[in-house]
Each structure stands twice: as structure tokens, then as C-alpha cells.
A and B are shown apart, each in its own frame.
Chain A
């Protein structure tokens, strides 16, 4: 059977690339060092596959089709929104395990869209290029959760999907070691009039919940509270919740936190340790 061996929660701020010189080199280096630290830790987990939960930014999916949740099961490349330092490239994938996960999730009464061929955006490409590739460039299985475009996926549904992912991996006949990444900033406001506002108190509260493994606490926060305190970008904590829910006995460890107003985001880096045993998934 497969196993979820741990995970990471990391940001995907495009301004790290598009506005790299907006902050002093020392601060910029500290942010990129956090990704390098996560890459070393991922290598230590000896993962064979990495599942990444990302967010569409109204680039991949348009008004003609807005999936609540989507998995990429075939060939991958990206990012579609390439930028200096983030080139477009093919991404190794694992079609057999991805297809197994899709069918397991569907068979358990969770509607999940799929992309048979997918060009990802920066929310998948940033962790793929800065963490997964340096750690051995193992295959990636991407999920997209609706975090940035109304209607967003209810956060408890994100948790349910994470649990179903874990169940699917544990039902897989192979012995792959699977790591998960929840990709997203903490407080940040994208495109709204308060863009640039970072709420350190909100960010610390989210970090504390992750450290305790308190998925229920994160799910208990109304979206209105998250929007008011953390900005529209903070709805990406859905990706954190999904990743945490996939990890048995999830407990977080803060790798780094950087509030960078010039990059409009509270940047949190956490490892999610697996402390529990594989088990049946509660509905």
C-alpha cells in the first residue's frame, strides 16, 4: 500500500520573481533559503510522488468552466504564466496513481473534475521548481481547489478531499511514498483596494493552528473572517487544510515566516509531520 509520509505548506508569490529586486538581497535570500530548506526536508522524506494543492488565479479556468476541485491525471507542464526565474518546462507525472486517486475520490461521492493534459500555473510551478525539482524531481500530481474565484470550495470540502486522498493512497497496491504540498500565501490581498496589507496576527494564528494540527480550528473560521483579517488571498488556507488532512496525525513545524509588504504577502513555510498510522477515512 502507498503511504503519505508528510507534507509542506509554502507560498507561491509571483512577485518573488516579477519584483525580485523590490526587497534587499538579504531578505530575498532568506525567503529562497526557506524553499531550499523545504527541498532538503522533502529529500529526507524519500518521497516517490508529490501531490500539490494549488489555486487557479482566474487564468487556467474561465467563466466557461470553474471547477470546485480538479486533479491533473496526465501530462503536465508549466507554468502558463512564466516569469523571470520561473521558466516553462515539462513536469514529471504519475498517471497511474493519479487516475487511481481520481477514481477513488469519485467512487466515494466526491465530485472531482479532471484534466487529462494540464499546463499548470505558478501556484503549482513555484513549489515544483523550488522544492520538488531540487529534491529529485519526482512526479507531481496536481490538484486545483477553487480558492480565488467565487464560488470558492467550502473549506470543509477541502478537508474531506485531503482525507480521501490519503485513503486513496493507502488503497494503492504500490508502495509509493507520497508527500503533499499545500501551496498558498497566508494574509494577502490580490487586486483589491487593500493590496499590500499584511496581518501578522492573523498569520501567526494560522501558523499556530497548523503547528497543533488543528484542521477543525481552521475550518471553523468563517470565510468572512478570513477575508476581513487576511484578505482575499488568505482563502488559500483551503490548500493548507487539504494537505494537512491527507497527512496521518498531522503536526506542523514552522520552517520560516516572512511578512513582505513589497511582495504583498505573509509568507509562511511549514513542514507537516506524519505522526499517525494509516487508518480508515471518516466520512
Chain B
């Protein structure tokens, strides 16, 4: 578990054209190049902004990396504000509560 390695991955995904391309093509293969735990790989692959931020990752890195998701800034804000629901699909950014 390493905040510093998470920031290294996110920095590369923000500024390194080769790393961005590799992540788009095969995120698991790209992430395997770094010393990450299984849990950290999941956070990065799932764009779990809320948990990454909770672990202290610099939010400017998160914004750069979010571009790889192809989603909007409003979606970014929803995602960073709320935890992902387990086993949910990609549209888990809703803040609606279960009744």
C-alpha cells in the first residue's frame, strides 16, 4: 500500500502519452508494470476517485487521469464525492439513496 506509488502511476497517466495509450488498450497490463497491491490496481482500473482521494492522492493528478475515463467533469465531481457501490456497473456515480 503506497500513496507514493499511486501518485507515480497517476502522474504517468496524466503526462506520458505512451502510458495513456497503454492504459486505454489494456489497463491491467499497464498497471502490472508498477509495484501496486491488488486493491490499488482495482482502485485505478475502476476510477475510484473517492477512495483514491481518501488515501491522500493529489486531486490535480486525479483530474488528469480522469480524462482517460472519457467522462465529464460533473461526473468527476459526483464520483469523487461518493463511494462506489460494490459490484455496480460503470454508472455508479449517482448519489441517489436506496429507499
Contacts and interface: CB of A to CB of B under 8 A. Distances in A.
Interface of A: 57-59, 62-64, 148-150, 190-193, 195-196, 232
A193 B4 contact: no
A194 to B, nearest CB: 9
B53 A192 contact: yes
B77 A193 contact: yes
B45 interface: no
A192 B59 contact: yes
A262 to B, nearest CB: 11
Contacts of B31: none
B58 A149 contact: yes
B20 to A, nearest CB: 14
B23 interface: no
Contact of B80 (A58, A192, A196): A192
B80 A193 contact: yes
Contacts of B12: 62
B77 A190 contact: no
Contacts of B4: 63
B62 interface: yes
Given A192-B53, A193-B53, A63 B59 contact: no
Contact of B60 (A64, A148, A193, A196): A148
A191 B79 CA distance: 11
A58 B77 contact: no
Given A191-B60, A191-B62, A58 B11 contact: yes
Contacts of B63: 190-191
B69 to A, nearest CB: 14
Nearest to B9: A63
A58 B60 contact: yes
B15 interface: yes
B84 interface: no
B59 A59 contact: no
Contact of A62 (B11, B53, B59, B81): B11
Contacts of A64: 8
Contacts of A192: 53, 59, 80
Given A62-B11, A62-B15, A57 B77 contact: no
Contacts of B11: 58, 62-63
B89 to A, nearest CB: 22
> Which 10 A-B pairs rank lowest in CB-CB distance, beginning with the nearest?
A191-B59, A191-B63, A193-B81, A62-B11, A63-B8, A58-B60, A192-B59, A193-B80, A191-B60, A63-B7
B58 A195 contact: no
A59 B15 contact: yes
Given A58-B64, A63-B8, A232-B59, 19 more contacts: A57-B60, A58-B11, A58-B14, A58-B60, A59-B15, A59-B64, A62-B8, A64-B8, A149-B60, A150-B58, A190-B59, A191-B58, A191-B61, A191-B63, A192-B53, A192-B80, A193-B53, A193-B80, A195-B77
Nearest to A190: B60
A196 B77 CA distance: 10
A196 B73 CA distance: 11
Contacts of B60: 57-58, 148-149, 190-191
B61 A58 contact: yes
